[in-house]
Amino acid sequence: MKTMIKRGLIAIAPLALTIGILYWLFSFMEELVGPPMKTLLGKYYVPGMGIVGAIIILFIIGSILNTWLISHVTHFFERVFKKIPLFNSLYKMVKNVTHFFQSSPEGENQQVVEVSIAGQTLVGFITRENFSEFPAMETDRVAVFLPMSYQIGGYTVLLPRSEVKPLDMSIEEALQYSLIAWARKPED
């Protein structure tokens, strides 16, 4: 009986959590953008238009942020806000995490690699291949992020390029494997 309940919980938890997160996200967007749209549209407003409006607003913001002028204004406000201690710490952390999943600077592509350290084989991601801005550092090194299982965290090690073996795997796939400790193949 307990085994069946546990199995049922394990089977339904990913679906329930995914639906719960999406419900929260859509509710948040509807509550944020819905009331102004109701005021503008009056009786023509249909529930759900807040979600569509939020998606359109995010798209427009993304497009505007790609312009030169807005980019400079954004950097100005970043410099101002970085002078606020708590805001600065949180902002830098969130920005660095989001940049990890974007393209690397100078056209570098993140790559999944295998490394051996102290007789252990580990899977990680090349996060930086060029250390030319650090003159005291050896130039034939790469930065490899080694994620830890079941949590967000890990270690970054600087290794000679010759000790890094590329793997034919996407970053998303390797992250999924790492998060479940390579216990089984992640769901597609």
pLDDT (tens digit per residue) in 26-75? 999 999 999 999 998 888 989 899 999 999 998 888 887 777 777 788 78
Indicate the range of 33-37, 90-94, 108-112, 160-164 predicted with least confidence.
108-112
Distance CA 33, CA 15 (A): 27
Q: What is the pLDDT of residue 56?
A: 92
The proportion of the chain whose per-residue pLDDT surpasses 90, expressed as a percent, equals 15
Contacts of 93 (CB under 8 A, 6+ apart): none
Long-range contact pairs involving 81-89 (C-beta distance under 8 Å, separation at least 24): none
Rounded alpha-carbon distances, angstroms, from residue 168 to 11, 173, 188: 30, 10, 17
On the question of pLDDT at 106 being above 70, the answer is no
- 122 forms bridges with which residues in the sheet? 115
Three-class SS state of 134: coil
The answer to whether residue 151 scores a pLDDT higher than 80 is: no
Please report the pLDDT score of residue 27 as a whole number: 92
* Structural domains for the chain: 2-100 (no CATH), 106-179 (2.30.30)
Distances (CA, A) of 90 to 28, 85, 155, 187: 21, 9, 20, 32
Inform me whether the pLDDT recorded for 146 exceeds 70: yes
Q: Report residue 180's pLDDT band, with 50, 70 and 90 as the boundaries.
A: confident
Q: 107: pLDDT confidence band, cut at 50, 70 and 90?
A: very low
pLDDT at residue number 23: 92
Six-digit token string for 43: 């009786």
pLDDT at residue number 103: 52
Return phi, psi of residue 181, to 5°.
55, 30
Higher pLDDT, 107 or 119: 119
- Distance CA(110)–CA(16), nearest Å, equals 32
What does pLDDT average to over the chain?
A: 81
pTM: 0.48
User: Which amino acid would we find at residue 59?
Assistant: F
* CA-wise closest residue to 174 among 93, 99, 101: 101
**What is the C-alpha separation between 57 and 142, in angstroms, rounded?**
39
